[in-house]
Structure 1
Amino acid sequence: MGRVVHILTASLAFFFAHAQQPGPGISRQLLVWKDSLERPSTEDRVKRELIGRIFDNRDHLWPDTLFPHVLARLSYHAVDLTDDSLFLAINREARLVARSFRDTLALGSAYWDLGWYHEKTLQRDSAYYYYFLAKDLLQARGDLASTASLYRKMASMQNLLKDYAGAEANLVEAIRISGIEEDKRGLFRSYHMLGTNLKDQGLYPEALDYFERARGYLREIDGGPNEWYAFYNNLGNVYRASGNYQLAAEYYRQAIENDSLEYKNPREFSLYKTNLATALYALGRIQEAEKAYLEALAIRQSGGNAVDLASSHYYLARLYQGEGRDSLAENHLEQALGYAEASNSPERLLELYPLAAQIVPQEAPYFFQQYAALNQELLENERDERNRFARIRYNTEQYIAQNEALEQQLLLWVGIALGVFLLGAAAVVIILQRIRNQKLRFQQQQQAVNQEIFNLMLAQNEKIEQEKQKVQKRISEELHDGVLGELNGIRMVLLGLNGKSDPASLSMRTKAIEKLQGLQEDIRGISHELSNAVYRKIHNFTHSLTELAEEISLGSGLHFNCQYNQDVDWDALPGEVKINLYRVIQESLQNVVKHASASEVTLQMEGDSTHLEIHVRDDGKGFNPRLARKGIGLKNIQSRVRAIGGKLKVSSAPGKGTTLSVLLPWPGANPLAGSHPSWKYRNTETLETG
C-alpha cells in the first residue's frame, strides 16, 4: 500500500517499542501477538485468531494517540483473510475511530482496504468508489506515491468494465504524479497498464510504444523475475491480439523460461502456459498446443480455482472440436460450463455458449438464446457501472467546486470586512486629528463663522442632490415623452397602413422607418449613460458563468461541465470584454438548448499570458456549417466577438456535436492572425468569421 503502509508500520513499531515498559492498560502479550502477525510464514488460521484477540481487547490495550493507526493496520492484515465478517467489523471501527480522531491518513488506509475487499468480491463500482475516497484523502496529505497507486487501482476497475477513456485519463494522472516523485517503479506500472488499456481498445502500435517505455523503466529499476515474466506475458498478449502469433509465442516462452516459477507461483505459470498454447494453436502447431494446454490444466487442477479450470477446459474443447474429436470436445465443454457456472463467471460463459452451439448443434438454439440474454445483461451492467463511475467523479467535482466557491466567497467577504474596518479606522483617526487641529486653530472664532460654514456644507449637498434628481428626471422624460410618444405615433401610423400598397402609403412607411431609426439613436445615447453600471455587475466572472450554467441546466435537463484555468485571473479582464464574453456564452448555451438536442455541454476556458480561449462543446446532433443559415443569434455572437478584437470559429458535422470557440488576445498583446495551434481542426466542416 505504498507509503501508507510504511507510516502505519512505523507507528506500530513506535508503540511496541514502548510497550515493553510496564504500564497500565498495556499487555506484554501484545509483543508475542505482533511478532506472529507480521511474520510472512504465519498461516491464515493463526492470523485470523491473533487479529480477533487483538480486536476483542482493543478497548484497554492501546494508547489513544495510536488507536486509529492500530485499527488501520489490523484492517490491512484482515482484508486478505477468508473471514469477511471479521474484516468488515474491523474496517468499520477503523473508519469510525479515524473520523473521530480526524486522522485522514488512517481513514485513507481503511478506505483503501475496503476498496480491495470489494475488488476481490467483484463489486467493481464499490471498489472504485472507495479507491476514489482513499485517493482524495491521501493526496490531500501529500502522499503522492499512494495517490498514484490508487489512480492505477481505479483505472484497473474501469478497464474491466470497458470504460477505456476513464481508465486512460487516470493512468495519465498516475504517470504525471510518479514523474513528479521520480518513482520509476510507479512509472513502469503505469505505462505497463496503459499499454494493456490501448491493446484492449485495438490500438496496437500505440500499445507497443507504451510497453517499450515500460521496458525502459523496468531495466532502470532492475526489476525482479516476476515483473519481467508478467511484462513478457502482457507484451505477448498485444502481439497475439494484433495477429502476430509468432512473436506472441516467443514472448510467452520468455515468461515461462524459468522453471522455478511453476513452484513459486503455479497460477501465474499456468496462465502463461495457456497463453503460449493459444498462440501455438493459432500457428497451426496443434500437438504442441494440446500438450501445453494439458500441462496447464494439470497445474490448475491442483490449485482448484474454478475460473482457471473453466478457461483450460474451454480451450481444450475448442481445440478438439476443430480437430473433429467430438467426444473429447463435448467432455471438456461440459466441464468448462460447470466450472464457469460454479465460479459465477459470466465472461467465460459468454465465450462458451457459441462454442457449445458448434459442439452440440442440436442444442444450438438454446445456447444462442442464453448467449443473447447474458450478453445483453452484461452490456447493461457495464453501462450502469460506467455511469456510476461518472456519477462518483461528477459528484466529487461538484462538491469540490462548491467548496472552492464558498472559500472564494468567504475570502471576498473577509477582504471586504477587513477593508471596511481599516478604512473606518483610518477615517476615525483622520477625523479626530482634524477636529483636534480645528479646535486648536479656530477656538477663538465666533459661533457665527462656524454656523456659516455649516450652512455652506448643507447648500453644497443640496446642489449635488438636485443635480442627481435632474439627471434622473431628464432620462425619465426622454424615455416617456420622447421615445414612448414617438413609438405610439409610429404604431398608429403603421396600423393605419396595414394592407395598403399605394405610393402614398409606401412613402409614409418609409418615413415611419426613418423615425424608428432616429429613436434607435436616441435609445443608444440613453443606454450609453447607463452602460458602466452593467459592467460593474460582473464582479466574479467565473462564478457568474457557473450560475448561468446552473440556471440553464435546471430548465433544460442538460448536464454541464465547466472547466476553468485556475492560473488565469478572469476577474482582471476589462468590463467590456467580460460582458461580451458572458453574452456570447449565454447565447451559445441557449442555442444548444434550442437546436442541438444535446445531453451534455462542456464550457472550457483556457488562457496564458497572451491569449484567452473559450470553447462551448455539445454532444448534440450537429450540422453542416456550409449549408446552415446564419441566424440572428450567431450574428450577435459574431458582432460581440469582433467588438472585443477576437476570432470566432464554429466546428460541427452531422452527428458529431458542435464546438464554438473564441480566441482573443489579452488587452495590450499583439493581435494574432489565426495561427494559434488550437485553431487547427481536422475532419470537420468549419465556419470561420472575424
Structure 2
Amino acid sequence: MVVSLISYNKKKLDSSISSIQSIGADSTSFYLKGIKQNSRDEIFVDQALKKAYQYNYKVSYDSLKNRNLLKIAYEAKRFGRDSIFVKANTEGLLLSEKIRDTFGVADAQWNFGSYYYTKENWELSFKFYYKAHINFESIKHEQFSGKMLFNMANVQSQLKDYTGSEITTFQAIKRFKKINNYLSLYRCFNQLGLIARDLKEFDRAKEYFIQALLYLDEIEDSDVYREFVYNNLGLVYQDIQNYEAAIEYFNIPLNRTELKEENIAFYARLLDNLTYNRFLKGEKEEIETSFLTALKIRDSINNISGVIINKIHLSEYYAFMQDTTKAIQFTKDALTLSKKVNNNREWLKSLHWLAKIDRANADNYLEQYVLLSDSLQHEERKIRNKFTRIQYETDEVIKENKLLGNKLILTSISGLILILILSLIYFIFIQRSKNKQMLLEQDQQKANQEIYQLMLAQQSKLEEGRSSERERLSSELHDGILGKLFGTRVGLGFLDLQGDAQTKKKLQGFVNEMQQIEQEIRAVSHDLQNEILSSKIDFYIMAKQYLEKLCNIEGIELIIENDDNINWEMIDTDYKVNIFRVIQESLQNTIKHADASMINVIFAKKQGQLLMKIKDNGKGFNTENKSKGIGLKNMALRIGKLGGSFNIMSKPLNGTSIIISIPLK
C-alpha cells in the first residue's frame, strides 16, 4: 500500500512537471501554488519544495530569485521541512544583503526567529527577532517592527523575564497605536494580562484582558479572539478562587455550538478548565467523565501539552477521591510526556505533585524538583543576560555600519560634487560652443538677409535701367522719328508733282504707307510707355533665379511651379522676405544634409492662403526621433510670426517635404 501511494504521488508530480515544461523560471511559482492546493499531500509537498528550490536556480533576476527563496523558506517552515528551510532562508538572507534589500533581510531574520522559537532556542530566536525589528524600524515599517517586538516579548516571557517582556510589549503597543492596528493591540494587552497573571498581579491582569476586549470592539468577526480572552479571564478568577466567575467565563465560548467543529483543541481546553473549576468548587457530578472526554479529544489530535495538563487535573481528582494508585499513575504519565516534549513548566508541576501524593518516593521527587528548578533558573538567567548582550552587540554593529555608511555617503557626496563640477565645466564648454554656432548661424541669417536686400536693390536697379531705356526709346520714337516722318509725309502731300496718273497713284501709295508706319511707331512708343508704368520687381523671378543658380552649382535638378493667380506685387514685402529666407534655409539644409538629386518648389494660392511646398528626393529622417535644429526652428518662427503654419514631413529614404501656409491680407 505504501509503495503504491508513493508511486501514485510520483506520477502526480511527474504529470505536474510535464505540464509546465514550457514555463521556465515560473516553475518555482507553479510549485509554490501547488503546495497550497495540495497541502495535505505530504509526499507532494516534499517533492514540490525540492523542485521549487531547484528551479529557482534558473532565475536570472536576483530580486525575483530572492522573493522565491523567502517564499520557499516560509512554506518549508510551515510544513516542518527543516533542511530545505535552513538552506533557502540562509541563501535568501545572504542574497538580500547582497542586493541591499532591507525588507528581505528582515523577512529572513523573522523566519529564523520563528524557526528557533519552535525549537525553543530562545537565545537565537530573540537574536533574530531583534535584528528583524531593527531592520523593519530602519525602513519605518511600524507594523512589522511592532510584531518583532511582540515576538521578543513572548521569548522573554518564556524565560520568566516578565519585566523585560512588559517593557518590550509596551514598545510594540506604541507602534501599533500609530497605525491603529487593533488586532495587534488586542494581542499585546492579552500578553500583558498573561504576564500579570504569572506575576500574580490578578487585578492588573483583569484590567489588561478587559482592555484587550475593548480593542476587539473595533474589529469585525472578533468572536474567536474574544473566546481566548474569556478563557484567560476564567483562569484569573480560578487563581483568586472565584470559581463561579471562572465557570461563567468558560461557559461563554462553550455555549457556542459551532466551537467544537471549528476549533476542537480549544474546545477541549475549555472543557478541561471548566471541569477543573467545577471540581475545585466542590462539584462531583460527571467530573471524571468530563475530564476523560477532554483527555480523549486531546489525545486524538496529539495535543501533548493539553494531555499533560489533563492528566495532572485527573490526578488531583483521583487523589481527592482517595484513589492514590490512579492519581500517581496519571501524574507519572504527565511526567513522562513532559520530559519527552521538554515542557519544563508541567515537568516541575508533575514532580511537585508526585512529591505530595507518592509519600514513599517524596524525597526523590523533591530532589529532582529542586535540581530541575535550579538548572532551569540558572539557564533562564544566563539567557536573560544574553538578551542584553545581544541588544548591545547588535546596536554596536548597527553603529559601526552607520559610521561606515556615513563615510560611504561622504565619499559618494564628494564624488558626486566632483562629477557635478566636471559636468558643469563640460556643460559650459558645450554651451559656449552652441552659442558660437548660434552666433555664426545668426550671422549667416543676417548675411542672407542682406543678400536678399541686395538682390532686391539689384533687381530694382535693373528695372530702373530698363525703364529709363524704354522711356528714352519711346521718347525718341514718338518725338523724334515719328515727328520727322510725319513732317516728311505732310510735305509730300503738298507737293504739286507733274506726271501721269500712275506715277501720282504710286506716290499716294507711298504717302499712305508712311502713315501706316507712323501708326506702328506710335503703337510701339505707347507699349514701351505702358511697360514703364507697370514694371516693378518680380519676386517669383528673383526666387527662381536664386534657386536656379544654386541648383546649377550643386548639380541638383530644379522643378519650380508658380500659380498664375498669385499677384506677387500685392503681397506684403515682409511676407516675401520671410518666404525667401525659408527658401534659402531649406535649400541649404537640402544641400548639406539630404544628399538629394532633385528639388521641387511649388507656389500656390487657395482659399485666401498662400501655399508653398519644398520637396526633395533625399535620404530623409525620422521626425519623431530627431530634434529640430536652429534652422528649422527659425523657419517655423518666421512663418509663425506671419500667422501661418509650418509642417515637415519626412521618412528615412523617402525624402523631405516642407509645407507652408500663410493667410493673405
TM-score band, normalised by shorter chain: 0.5 to 0.7
Q: Is the 8 A contact 2:352 2:369 kept in 1?
A: yes
How far 1:109 moved relative to its partner?
A: 1.0
**278 and 74 in structure 1: CA distance in 2 versus 1, 3 angstrom threshold:** same
> Is the contact between residue 111 and residue 134 of structure 1 (CA under 8 Å) also seen in structure 2?
yes
Q: CA separation of 1:193/1:297 partners in 2, compared to 1, >3 Å: closer, same or farther?
A: same
SS at match of 2:230: helix
Task: Return the offset for 1:242.
Answer: 2.8
Q: Match for residue 177 of structure 1?
A: 175
Question: In the alignment, is the contact (CA less than 8 A) between 2:157 and 2:195 conserved in 1?
Answer: yes
Identify the residue that residue 322 of structure 2 maps to in structure 1.
324
| Residue of structure 1 in register with 2:366 after alignment | 368
User: By how many angstroms is 1:315 displaced?
Assistant: 1.2
Distance in 2 (alpha carbons) for counterparts of 1:349 and 1:123: 18
| Rounded Cα–Cα distance in structure 2 between residues aligned with 1:124 and 1:54 | 30
1:375-399: CA deviation from partner (whole Å, max 9, x where unpaired) = 1111111111111112112223344
2:298 to 297, 300, 322: 300
Residue 214 (structure 2) aligns with: 216
Deviations 1:443-473 (A, max 9, x none): xxxxxxxxxxxxxxxxxxxxxxxxxxxxxxx
Q: Is the contact between residue 314 and residue 330 of structure 2 (CA under 8 Å) also seen in structure 1?
A: yes
Distance 1:274 1:413 in 2: 66
3-state secondary structure, aligned to 1:106: helix
Q: 1:190 to 1:41 in 2, by over 3 A?
A: same
Q: Following TM superposition, by how much is the alpha carbon of 1:243 offset from its aligned partner in structure 2, in angstroms? A: 2.8
1:256 matched to 2:254: yes
- Matching residue within 147, 150, 153 for 1:152: 150
Which one is further off, 301-310 or 174-183? Answer: 301-310
Query: For the pair shown, which has the larger CA radius of gyration, 1 or 2?
Result: 2
**Cα distance change, pair 190–315 in 1 and its aligned pair in 2 (3 A):** same
Give the structure 2 partner of residue 80 of structure 1: 78
Query: How far 1:219 moved relative to its partner?
Result: 1.4
Q: Secondary structure at the match of 1:167?
A: helix
**Which residue of the partner structure matches residue 103 of structure 1?**
101
For 2:61, give the aligned amino acid.
Answer: P
Give the letter for the 2:35 counterpart. Answer: L
- Correspondence list, 1:425-464, <5 A: none
Greater shift, 318-327 or 156-165, is seen at 318-327
Indicate whether 1:227 and 2:225 are aligned.
Answer: yes
Sort the Cα spacing of 1:193 and 1:40 in 2 relative to 1 into closer, same or farther, 3 A. farther
The answer on whether the counterparts of 1:306 and 1:342 sit within 8 Å (CA) in structure 2 is no
Q: Which residue of 1 aligns with 2:384?
A: 386
Match of 2:342 in 1: 344
**Matched-pair contact (CA < 8 Å) for 1:280–1:288:** no
User: 1:109 is matched by which residue type in structure 2?
Assistant: D
Deviation at 1:333, TM superposition (A): 2.2
Distance of 1:176 and 1:410 partners within structure 2 = 33
Offset of 1:173 from its aligned partner?
A: 1.1
Q: Residues 236-635 of structure 1 correspond to what in structure 2 (within 5 A)? A: 236-400=234-398
> Does the Cα contact within 8 Å between 1:320 and 1:328 map onto a contact in 2?
yes
* Shift of residue 317, structure 1, vs aligned partner: 0.8
CA distance in 1 between partners of 2:401 and 2:33 (Å)? 45
> Counterpart in 2 of 1:456?
none
Distance 2:36 2:410 in 1: 52
> Match of 1:57, SS?
helix
Q: Which amino acid aligns with 1:76?
A: Y
Distance between the aligned counterparts of 2:343 and 2:183, measured in 1? 32
3-state SS, counterpart of residue 88 of structure 1: helix
Distance 2:299 2:352 in 1: 25
**Any idea what SS the aligned residue of 2:80 has?**
coil
Deviations 1:44-63 (A, max 9, x none): 44223211111022211453
Residue 679 of structure 1 corresponds to which residue in structure 2? none
Residue 578 of structure 1: aligned partner:
none
The 2-side partners of 1:404 and 1:102 are apart by 14
Distance 2:330 2:252 in 1: 29
Deviation at 1:172, TM superposition (A): 0.7
The aligned counterpart of 1:195 is 193
CA contact (8 A) 1:273 1:292 kept: yes
- Structure-1 residue corresponding to 2:493: none
State which drifts further: 60-69 or 104-113.
60-69
Please report how far the alpha carbon of residue 363 of structure 1 lies from its aligned counterpart in structure 2 after TM superposition.
Answer: 1.1
TM-score normalized by structure 2? Answer: 0.56
Separation of aligned partners in 2, 1:363 and 1:230: 39
Q: Structure 1: how far apart are the matches of 2:405 and 2:102?
A: 21
SS in structure 2 of the partner of residue 79 of structure 1: helix
How far apart are the structure 2 equivalents of 1:414 and 1:52? 43
**Cα distance in 2, alignment partners of residues 48 and 411 from structure 1:** 46
Q: Which amino acid aligns with 2:25?
A: I
Q: Which residue matches 2:429?
A: none
- Which stretch shifts more, 119-128 or 329-338? 329-338
Structure 1 CA distance for aligned equivalents of residues 407 and 80 of structure 2: 50
Provide the C-alpha distance between the structure 2 equivalents of 1:399 and 1:31, rounded to a whole number of angstroms.
Answer: 36
CA contact (8 A) 2:206 2:236 kept: yes
The secondary structure found in structure 2 opposite 1:26 is helix
Residue of structure 1 in register with 2:54 after alignment: 56
Distance 1:197 1:62, change over 3 A: farther
Q: Deviations over 1:282-328 (max 9, x none)?
A: 21123344333211101012112333222211111111112211222
Deviation at 1:276, TM superposition (A): 1.7
RMSD value, Cα: 3.0
Q: In the alignment, is the contact (CA less than 8 A) between 2:35 and 2:45 conserved in 1?
A: yes
Cα-to-partner distance string for 1:216-250 (whole Å, 9 max, x where unaligned):
11011124332122111112222222332221121
- Kept in 1: contact 2:32–2:49 (CA 8 A): no
Distance 2:102 2:188 in 1: 26
* In structure 2, distance between residues paired with 1:66 and 1:412: 31
Q: Are the equivalent residues in 1 in contact too, given 2:62–2:95 (CA < 8 A)?
A: no
User: For 1:378 and 1:78, how far apart are their aligned partners in 2?
Assistant: 31
Report matched runs for 1:87-126 at 5 Å: 87-126=85-124
In the alignment, is the contact (CA less than 8 A) between 2:28 and 2:55 conserved in 1? no
Structure 1, residues 547-571: CA drift from partner, whole Å, max 9, x if none?
A: xxxxxxxxxxxxxxxxxxxxxxxxx
In 2, Cα distance between the equivalents of 1:126 and 1:101?
25
Bigger shift: residues 303-312 or 149-158: 303-312
Residue 26 of structure 1 aligns with which residue?
Answer: 25
CA distance in 2, matches of 1:115, 1:338: 29
Deviation at 1:357, TM superposition (A): 2.1
Between 60-69 and 401-410, report the one with greater CA deviation: 401-410
User: Equivalents in 1 of 2:275, 2:51: separation in Å?
Assistant: 48
1:88/1:172 CA distance change after superposition, 3 Å? same
The structural deviation recorded for 1:215 is 0.8
Query: What secondary structure is seen at the aligned counterpart in 2 of 1:175?
Result: helix
Query: Which amino acid in 2 is paired with 1:103?
Result: D
Kindly provide the amino acid, as one letter, of the partner of residue 26 in structure 1.
Answer: A
SS at match of 1:286: coil
Per-residue deviation, 1:268: 1.9
Contact between 1:276 and 1:292, CA under 8 Å: does it hold in 2? Answer: no
Q: 1:401 to 1:62 in 2, by over 3 A?
A: closer
Task: Show the counterpart of 1:509.
Answer: none
CA distance in 2, matches of 1:362, 1:199: 34
Is the Cα contact below 8 Å between 2:169 and 2:192 reproduced in 1?
A: yes
Paired with 1:21 and 1:365, the residues of 2 have a C-alpha distance of: 69
* Cα distance in 2 for residues equivalent to 1:366 and 1:22: 68
Conserved in 2, the CA contact under 8 Å of 1:317 and 1:333? yes
Partners of 1:70 and 1:364 in 2: CA distance: 56
The letter of the residue matching 1:374 is L
Q: 1:62 to 1:189 in 2, by over 3 A?
A: farther
* Identical-residue share of aligned pairs (%): 26
The residue aligned with 1:69 is 67
1:664-688 alpha-carbon deviations (Å, 9 max, x no partner): xxxxxxxxxxxxxxxxxxxxxxxxx
2-structure distance, mates of 1:239, 1:284: 16
In structure 1, the gaps of 5 or more residues are 1-19, 416-690
Deviation (angstroms), 1:406: 7.8
